[in-house]
Structure 1
């Protein structure tokens, strides 16, 4: 985990890095009444040949689902799919484990491989593999749920379907970037036993079947946090990493500056493609807005 610090003009500019912004207004957008959704990459009725994937990153949707509505049962196959809850509640049902535990209050009351009604700070992860069906619904009587739905392309097809659910501490994110997902430690050639063990390359994270890391931080105005690309030896491909930075739309007036560059400032809903960087490089993120900035980083081969 990186450490939050006061912003400084001496921060690394990562001079070799190519940083390309993706403004919120340029994303695909659809409002279906019950669902208000923004698509960073081609998805559903939105298609742009320029934005179909970025490394293993295939989908980044920012969704708001109205109370007492949601996604009905639908299939998934050969995709690593995860939901990062920003606010509200999300209930999961699936073809393997049934319905999430509605009465559980925290993940300490359930196994990390079970489900419960997910809330802010929770991440639910699905390996679609050889095929699975699930539903995600907002059963709250009044409050909408706001979350990021993210898909990554796995390193091989036909994996055994699997689930993980974990909660990540809010205060830890305020101290720096917290790693949320990291590659399955056993890698591409994992045995069935190693798959079942599901040990991640970075302890305390969710294992993903890709050379892929996810991190998140909450940065107060005037402070900064650094993401170490590649996660200190967690990835196989160290050269030419592809890092996507996203600022969720939380309505706090958040703005961030990347790598100390005055021309690389992102607001809420904005993102940026960071290329020509290698494992071990440090990407500095400064909070320069009026409110705290929640920042999600997706670090891929």
Structure 2
């Protein structure tokens, strides 16, 4: 199979090179430097700062803690996670409890602009572990107004092609107060993020190929970086190949840096394992 991105450099980031910590209630892998794990080779990639693959046991979770000046989002791979934060304001004792938290499940994504400061907690009240990706992006400016959002995206759609989940806020870095309040994304149906950043997910059957259009027609920046991640969801049976390259084969837990690409380039992702591959694409300037 010939490649189409001869001008691009694809560098695998192997699962074994990630940071890892098992706290009993939390089993976590860090693709980029985080907490007590630091690697100068993996600090950030464009606006992508954190990519953690977490498993939280039943009746466990992250207690209330603060964040500021990051765009923070979680993509649920299996199980259920309950999120509460300081953007959920209780106006009266009569307000339904359901309005004070958000419970996210398989395929959902939840999103927080930490901005000037939020506190939040994430807890697994279910009977089974919850498996999810926790991702942080660096916003285009500090001091933003905190905001919470979430979306639900079907597996059926993801089996047809890449489904975009996040895209830049219309109005960009100079967005007006009205544009901030409207939170309209560049790609309809996605969640607006304060960064030149697009996140997509696809579920690719063995032997099938999906094509990712770099930039997703949602940015004016020509020079792009793409990070591809293959979560550990199929017991090692999922495998993908990028751009038809033998050195671009990724197994579960692996990622890859795709450098030297331009908006409009086509990145082919082929499923070459025994099980369908759930692929995450993070496209940034």
Mark yes or no: TM-score above 0.5: yes
How far, CA to CA, are the matches of 1:289 and 1:98 in structure 2? 46
Aligned to 1:192: 177
* 1:263 matches 2:247: yes
What are the ranges of 5 or more consecutive residues in structure 1 without an aligned counterpart?
1-8, 105-109
* 1:126 matches 2:112: yes
How far, CA to CA, are the matches of 1:68 and 1:135 in structure 2? 13
How far, CA to CA, are the matches of 1:13 and 1:78 in structure 2? 38
1:98 is displaced (CA, Å) by 5.7
1:82 pairs with one of 67, 70, 73: 73
Aligned to 1:107: none
Contact 1:102–1:116 (8 Å) recurs in 2: no
1:38 pairs with one of 23, 29, 37: 29
- Aligned 1:198-213 pairs, distance under 5 A: 198-213=183-198
SS at match of 1:263: helix
- Aligned 1:91-130 pairs, distance under 5 A: 91-97=82-88, 115-130=101-116
* 1:249 matches 2:232: yes
2:256 pairs with one of 266, 269, 272: 272
Computed over aligned residues only, the root mean square deviation of the Cα atoms, in angstroms, reads 1.7
1:103 is displaced (CA, Å) by 8.9
How far, CA to CA, are the matches of 1:42 and 1:26 in structure 2? 11
Contact 1:115–1:165 (8 Å) recurs in 2: no
How far, CA to CA, are the matches of 1:135 and 1:175 in structure 2? 34
How far, CA to CA, are the matches of 1:98 and 1:176 in structure 2? 37
Aligned to 1:288: 272
Number of residue pairs the alignment of both structures matches: 280
The 1:184/1:70 distance shift into structure 2, 3 A limit, reads same
1:115 is displaced (CA, Å) by 4.6
Contact 2:15–2:254 (8 Å) recurs in 1: yes
SS at match of 1:171: helix
What are the ranges of 5 or more consecutive residues in structure 2 without an aligned counterpart?
none
